[in-house]
Structure 1
Amino acid sequence: MSRTLVAGVGMIPFATPRNGAPYDEMAPDAVRRALADAGVELRDVQQAYAGYVYGDSTSGQRALYQVGTTGIPIINVNNNCSTGSTALFLARQAVESGSADCVLAFGFEQMERGALTMKWPDRPSPFVDFMKIANERNGGASDAPFAAQLFGGAGAEYAEKYGMAPETFAQISVKSRKHAANNPFAVFRDPLTVEEVMASPQIFGPLTRLQCCPPTCGAAAAVIVSEEFARKRGLRTTVAISAQAMTTDNDATFDGSLANLVGADMSRRAADQVYEKAGVAPSDIRVVELHDCFTANEILSYEALRLTPDGTAEKFIRDGDNTYGGAVVTNPSGGLLSKGHPLGASGLAQCAELSWQLRGEAGDRQVDDVTVALQHNIGLGGAAVVTLYEKVS
């Protein structure tokens, strides 16, 4: 089977909702950048997958029509916070199956200020079972945002189980800002100290405000092609998707563990599938973009992705094994905590960052000697997408 390649990527600098542009300006900008990076035009694209969470039906068409109207299938995708990676998953499947040779995956989000809220109070929430378990484990309902209750509760559960200090959670935010300082696409680039993180308002469990990703607006895109198409057209063949897996919730999600409730089990299952398919060990990974919607989830993800054994995340952090000079650089972009989290765009922004890393084009963020790169993106409710990219010689 020929390789599935990432021929080009593009993203725009993320922005706060106050400063963000409308989605039908952001998304076309990211798409044009990806097309130019790939060296193709929209008329070369045979299918498109548009990812967004907050928007009317066919917003994907509206966005892509600003680039051109070519009559191709445009499929709108919504999988909560894993929406961008789900669009990428579908694009990769289309190329790998032979259904198309050149496919566009793009994601965008025009977000409101403030924490995420339920948008449809007149019907059953997909999080009914999640919040029931969270309330039971957390000791009752809370006024905190629902996502903070879930991830904060999971962080508290982990800290109690393994004795992690609150300051260790805060170190994730400090590391995130340090990485983001070198990323012109990130919203929050000013340095932080552990003391500043700890002094910010308490949200839930071990989480303070500076340990929660901010709602931001943004867009990102990737052009996925077959190896045959790339070689025929003389396109870049540097980055390939060597393995990819998507998992959803199973019985383990609802076994009472808050870590599993927020995706640790489905992340691990997806990662294991990817490692097995690619023939790569976790110890081979030198750079990863993982889903750090809260500091607690970055910690859980270290172990779910098998970057460090269960119960050792605190040592992993304190030893500096999660940053430059350590075992694996996690979120060189600054991650969701600093780059921001426009839901539909985040997975494709991760794809862009790792493509630049493999191409040696990440500037001051560049990780040395990168040959494989891992991407992890989750959405509650739920879906986990793990993707392994390889540098093609």
Structure 2
Amino acid sequence: MSKVYVAGVGMIPFAKPGASDPYTTMGAEATRRALGDANLDYGAVQQAYVGYVYGDSTAGQRAVYPVGMTGIPVINVNNNCSTGSTALYLARQAVESGAADCILALGFEQMKPGALGAVFTDRPSPFEEFDALADKLVEAPGVPIALRYFGGAGLSHMKKYGTSLETFAKVRAKASRHAKNNPLALFRKELTFEDVMGDMMIWPGVMTRLMACPPTCGAAAAILVSEQYALRHGLRMDVSIRAQSMTTDTPSTFASQDMMKLVGYDMTKAAACNVYERASIAPNDVDVVELHDCFAHNELISYEALGLCPEGDAERFIVDGDNTYGGKCVTNPSGGLLSKGHPLGATGLAQCYELTRQLRGTAEATQVEDARIGLQHNLGLGGACVVTLYERAG
């Protein structure tokens, strides 16, 4: 089993739907940037795992062919919002097992404006059971289903622990403070707590519009290499993947009758525990986290699922400033999905991009001081969760 290093990362600025280049251009550019960062040519890549959610089959090949047509395996990956980190997971497995020494993981998305919806309406939906339970547990007529899922999870936390709507607003305001320093983020305007609370209420008492991430277009990529390959070719070895875990739903997703578990709380907790055990570290050893804040509500419940604070203590974690610079663990220094944007297939690799730069010490205005351990959390309903632990050398 080889140790796996992140030799190069690349990412393009995220954009609103209609304002981006086509996925072919975005994917190729992110690939070129990752190769440039690794100081490698495309000819060195032995396999490619390419993730996207909304696109035709073999769109992965179409995105990398402008960079090179070398005959290597190109595997297309689709795992909802965890697609990018699933591509990363497969690439890491291939390098670690010795199947290949140099692999590209690429994610991109060219999205349309508006709420997410089904593309194929003439067959059973993967979300039939999810929708049925959400309809049973949450009365929110007219609220789009994704908002009902995560707003319902936030409402479950509010009822269980007394969490206030104002606390979710503080999460959103924090995201904007971080994103103002990230030149690749979609939204860089700093928002105040009052801005978030005063925005349009899309679910009275539960969510304002600013508490939801926007549809986004973009691409990001990483080059993973084995230890032997890095040594032979003089590649950088300052950031490694120390542990990684991928989980899917268990019976508790539905049997618990809890909206937090319906949106992946147990998947997240299981993946995080696996990673901590494999790496022989505790959650309080983590310096910086990029987690799946598709809604402010999911960021809050993910603090507890990832073990960053005890269950029921997320509100105190936020109020005390333990989720930002100067606190216990800087969360989403990139601005996260809420401000950086959420191009579904690219999100997991954009998180890899940010954490790799943090551990290298090259994150510039978003830099977390002396970051040594980074944790990545990427969640896709339906479902899949990938948690990745990165470590700085030395």
Q: Same fold (TM over 0.5)?
A: yes
Q: 1:110-154 deviations in whole A, cap 9, x for unaligned?
A: 000111111111111111101111111113x62222111000001
The equivalent residue for 1:225 is 225
Letter in structure 2 aligned against 1:237: M
Given that 1:303 and 1:313 are in contact with CA atoms closer than 8 Å, whether structure 2 keeps it comes out as yes
The equivalent residue for 1:124 is 124
Given that 2:2 and 2:98 are in contact with CA atoms closer than 8 Å, whether structure 1 keeps it comes out as no
Equivalent residues in 2 for 1:1-393, closer than 5 Å: 1-139=1-139, 142-204=141-203, 206-254=206-254, 255-393=256-394
Structure 1 runs of 4+ aligned residues shifted over 3 Å read: none
Residues in 1 aligned to 2:164 and 2:90: alpha-carbon distance in whole angstroms: 40
Letter in structure 1 aligned against 2:341: G
Given that 1:8 and 1:223 are in contact with CA atoms closer than 8 Å, whether structure 2 keeps it comes out as yes
Residues in 1 aligned to 2:253 and 2:94: alpha-carbon distance in whole angstroms: 29
Given that 1:247 and 1:266 are in contact with CA atoms closer than 8 Å, whether structure 2 keeps it comes out as yes
Given that 2:2 and 2:95 are in contact with CA atoms closer than 8 Å, whether structure 1 keeps it comes out as no
Residues in 2 aligned to 1:126 and 1:202: alpha-carbon distance in whole angstroms: 29
Residues in 2 aligned to 1:305 and 1:252: alpha-carbon distance in whole angstroms: 17
- What CA RMSD, in Å, does the superposition of the two structures yield over aligned residues? 0.8
Residues in 2 aligned to 1:36 and 1:360: alpha-carbon distance in whole angstroms: 18
Give SS of 1:86's match: helix
Given that 1:10 and 1:34 are in contact with CA atoms closer than 8 Å, whether structure 2 keeps it comes out as yes
Residues in 1 aligned to 2:142 and 2:77: alpha-carbon distance in whole angstroms: 30
Given that 2:216 and 2:342 are in contact with CA atoms closer than 8 Å, whether structure 1 keeps it comes out as yes
Give SS of 1:269's match: helix
Residues in 1 aligned to 2:198 and 2:124: alpha-carbon distance in whole angstroms: 37
Residues in 2 aligned to 1:25 and 1:60: alpha-carbon distance in whole angstroms: 12
Instruction: State how many pairs are aligned.
Output: 392
Q: 1:292-346 deviations in whole A, cap 9, x for unaligned?
A: 0000000010000000000000100000000000000000000000000000000
Letter in structure 2 aligned against 1:58: T
Given that 2:9 and 2:38 are in contact with CA atoms closer than 8 Å, whether structure 1 keeps it comes out as yes
Residues in 2 aligned to 1:135 and 1:376: alpha-carbon distance in whole angstroms: 27
Shift of 1:364: 1.1
Please report the TM-score for the alignment, with normalisation by the length of structure 1. Answer: 0.99
Residues in 1 aligned to 2:159 and 2:192: alpha-carbon distance in whole angstroms: 24
Give SS of 1:136's match: helix
Q: Which stretches in structure 2 are left out of the alignment for 5+ residues?
A: none
Shift of 1:35: 0.4
Q: Which stretches in structure 1 are left out of the alignment for 5+ residues?
A: none
Letter in structure 2 aligned against 1:44: A
Residues in 2 aligned to 1:245 and 1:153: alpha-carbon distance in whole angstroms: 26
Q: 1:50-91 deviations in whole A, cap 9, x for unaligned?
A: 000000000000000011100000000000000000000000
Given that 1:85 and 1:377 are in contact with CA atoms closer than 8 Å, whether structure 2 keeps it comes out as yes
Residues in 2 aligned to 1:370 and 1:339: alpha-carbon distance in whole angstroms: 21
Residues in 2 aligned to 1:282 and 1:150: alpha-carbon distance in whole angstroms: 27
Seq. identity, %: 62
Please report the TM-score for the alignment, with normalisation by the length of structure 2. Answer: 0.98
